[in-house]
Amino acid sequence: MNRFVCLGLLALACAPPATAAPLREPHLTIHPVGRQQPHVALTLDACSGKADTRILDALIENRIPATIFVTAPWLKRNGPALQTLLAHPDLFQIENHGGRHLPAVDVPMIVFGLAAAGTPQAVKTEIASGAEAILAATKHRPHWYRGATGKYTSSAMRLVAQAGEAVAGYSLIADDGARLSRHAVTVRLSKARDGDVIIAHVNHPEKPAGLGLVEGILALKARGFVFVKLGEPPAHRPAPPPGT
């Protein structure tokens, strides 16, 4: 066979598929119901690594509730932080961020540098193993699930629902995975609106983003914002599609 033909066939065999599974990034907001004070839900991801006690201490001191999405590895490595969360059930709601912190995508691909679960069964295992870790640590089953990266295939979102959990979207990204500067995080939070579901991270005590998060949260409180946990009144709803 002509060597140029061989090279061409090899290139075709190694080429990625022409189309990849479309990913969704679900948005979630709180119903505005004519409140005089703006309400937001603060959600914090504990992906891996350590616990940012700067954030947890500020929330406790200022009586600000939050929903914490934890992975099984984070629970295993952060016993003291877990005890802090459990000691304040009025403030902290612990929900599912997965057994291994894998994107809830049921086809093989890389999402923001992370290998996706890759198959429907792997997505089911990721959800179930995270829920089992939370049940063992807290004695309650989670009601909400947020996959690593916050992106999903539509079919994976159906698997979350079949597992009895709701996909936890968001409407305001505060820290870009704790990569932003202190100032940048405070600026983003200053743009919060009534009904926003805020996402940030609570597992990077070594980064300045956590300080910006604390400053931004306290600034919102000073402006009269009220913080609620996911699932608390008022009801939550997906954001309308763009252009509506």
Structure tokens, 72: 């099984």
Instruction: Give the residue carrying structure tokens 């968001």.
Output: 170
Q: Report percent pLDDT > 70 for the chain.
A: 85
Confidence tier at 163 by pLDDT (50, 70, 90): very high
Instruction: Determine the pLDDT at residue 7.
Output: 33
Contact between residue 45 and residue 66 where contact means Cβ atoms under 8 Å apart: no
Global pTM reads: 0.88
pLDDT of res. 16: 39
**CA nearest neighbour of 172 among 157, 156, 154, 187:** 187
| Confidence at residue 219, expressed as pLDDT on a 0 to 100 scale | 98
Cβ distance 116 to 103 under 8 Å? yes
Task: For residue range 65-86, list pLDDT tens digits in order.
Answer: 999 999 999 999 999 999 999 9
**20 neighbors 30 (Cβ within 8 angstroms):** no
pLDDT at 8: 36
CA distance 122 to 62: 40
Computed over its alpha carbons, how large is the radius of gyration of the chain?
Answer: 20
232: confidence class by pLDDT, cuts 50, 70, 90? confident
User: What integer is the mean pLDDT of 187-215?
Assistant: 98
Higher pLDDT, 239 or 224: 224
DSSP output for 8-59: HHHHHHHSPPSS-PPPB---EEEPP-S-SS-EEEEEEEE-SS---HHHHHHH
Q: What is the pLDDT of residues 90-115, one digit of tens each?
A: 999 999 999 999 999 999 999 999 99
Mean pLDDT of the chain: 89
| pLDDT recorded at residue 41 | 97
Sorted by where each begins, the domain ranges of the chain are: 21-238
Angle, helix 53-61 to helix 209-222, in steps of 10 degrees: 20
How far apart, in whole angstroms, are the C-alpha atoms of residue 166 and residue 218?
A: 29
Mean pLDDT comparison of 15-19, 78-82, 239-243, highest-scoring range = 78-82
Average pLDDT over residues 12-41: 73
**In whole angstroms, what is the distance from residue 160 CA to residue 147 CA?**
10
Report the SS3 class of residue 132.
helix
What local confidence, expressed as pLDDT, does residue 3 receive? 39
> Computed from CA positions of residues 14, 18, 21, 23, in that sequence, does the dihedral angle turn out positive or negative?
positive
CATH code that applies to domain 21-238: 3.20.20.370
Given this model, what pLDDT does residue 19 score? Answer: 41
Confidence label for 21 from pLDDT (cuts 50, 70 and 90): confident
Give the model's confidence band at 239: pLDDT under 50 very low, under 70 low, under 90 confident, else very high. Answer: low
Non-local (6+) Cβ contacts of 129 within 8 A are 72, 98, 99, 100
Residue 190 main-chain phi, psi, to 5 deg: -65, -15
DSSP-assigned letter for residue 73: H
Query: Is a pLDDT exceeding 90 seen at residue 117?
Result: yes
The one-letter amino acid code at 145 reads: Y
pLDDT of residue 192 exceeding 70, the answer is yes
Query: In the prediction, which pLDDT does 237 show?
Result: 62
In the predicted structure, residue 20 carries a pLDDT above the cut 90: no
